[in-house]
Amino acid sequence: MRCGTIWRNARLATMMGDDLGIVDSGVVAAADGRIVYAGPAGDAPDFGPATEVECGGRWITPGLIDCHTHLVHAGNRAGEFAARLAGASYEEIARAGGGIVSTMRATRGASEDALVAGALPRLDALIAEGVTTVEVKSGYGLTAEHEAKMLHAARRLADERDVRVATTFLGAHALPPEFAGDADGYVDSVCAQIPALAAAGLADAVDAFCEGIGFTPAQVDRVFAAAHAAGLPVKLHAEQLSALGGASLAARHGALSADHLEHATNADVAAMAAAGTVAVLLPGAYYFMRETQAPPIAAFRAAGVPIALATDCNPGTSPLTSPLLVMNMAATLFRLTVEEALRGLTVNAARALGLQAEIGTLEVGKACDLAIWNVSELAELVYRIGFNPLHSRIRNGR
């Protein structure tokens, strides 16, 4: 078998099957950026001449996938954080013209170059912890021009760094001031942007914020219809602060994922299970917003809804750039198991992006995106707080 690089003497968490798919004495081999073998050393074929990497018994997982971020944005909201410490609520700040709209002002005022430059340190923090794929949403431009600028900036991150970027159009994130009192008019303009963004290849999916301070299920329904017409998959910020049935709506639309979900009901869970919609949990936002109602994890488990995890990196509710801390928070705050946490940033995150044929497991034919860890047991990846045991990160076999 011809191959380029072989990683030997490793322990593998392949994420194949329903658990971690562990191989104790494992080998991974790659050719032309793809995995050509991942399994027990004893069963490995003769690979012929290749670059050999001795892993010294280290653990190899699939490269981590951060499937929900708002990495591209200008400015920060540290001042609002301070105001919240002094007693203001997120909703009060939003209704007073702060919140998402303050990041919108900063983002409209930033050039595409400045957005790229601003996002790179955040992206580098993710990469330093083994992220090989990141989803990036628009949603702080809130005009056709500035939303497209954000998506261009997101695409350029993949030129600046060795990382796969999936982009999501989140025009229906907040009502921009010029449409005050006319949310339906703004939704019309969001829908009208979708065909051109799809045709230009700028958006891989369409998202919306279904919430009292965001958009109603009826408005989201219209955005999703426009996405379907343009051939784009959908996902939804749903049930974060209140129960509006957004997750059920997303499931009815065959959404890749519904995200946040603290207030999801049994009906939402059943609809997601039937549709195969992934539950993307964002414990950083739950923590930062000091929420007290955790998502219905037991119901997701019982119904077989796949659970993914992500940073939700954004300036307002989750200024977080650590996938390792996300796993710890998911375990500590939501009581996810080690297996669920690790699957949440690999195989199930791939599914939340519709990329399960390409990434997320150590499986022949998939991209050879690996994270190699200096840990003696996988639980260490979930257990430590503020410590990064990444040994190396492989993207497309390099």
Q: Which residues bind ligand DI6 (CB under 6 A)?
A: 99-100, 103, 173, 209, 237, 240, 285, 312, 314-317
240 contact, one of Fe ion, ligand DI6, none, CB 5-8 Å limit per kind: ligand DI6
What's the min distance (Å) between Cβ of 330 and Fe ion?
16
209 contact, one of ligand DI6, Fe ion, none, CB 5-8 Å limit per kind: ligand DI6
What's the min distance (Å) between Cβ of 173 and ligand DI6?
6
23 vs 278, which CB is nearer to ligand DI6?
278
Q: How buried is residue 189: exposed, middle or buried, by Cβ count under 10 Å (0-12/13-18/19+)?
A: middle
What's the min distance (Å) between Cβ of 154 and Fe ion?
14
129 vs 312, which CB is nearer to Fe ion?
312
Q: Indicate the residue whose CB is closest to Fe ion.
A: 312
Q: Indicate the residue whose CB is closest to ligand DI6.
A: 316
What's the min distance (Å) between Cβ of 265 and ligand DI6?
19
What's the min distance (Å) between Cβ of 273 and ligand DI6?
23
315 contact, one of Fe ion, ligand DI6, none, CB 5-8 Å limit per kind: ligand DI6
What's the min distance (Å) between Cβ of 285 and ligand DI6?
5
103 contact, one of ligand DI6, Fe ion, none, CB 5-8 Å limit per kind: ligand DI6
Residues 6+ apart with CB under 8 A from 217: 210, 244, 245, 246, 249
110 contact, one of ligand DI6, Fe ion, none, CB 5-8 Å limit per kind: none
Residues that bind Fe ion (CB under 5 A): 312
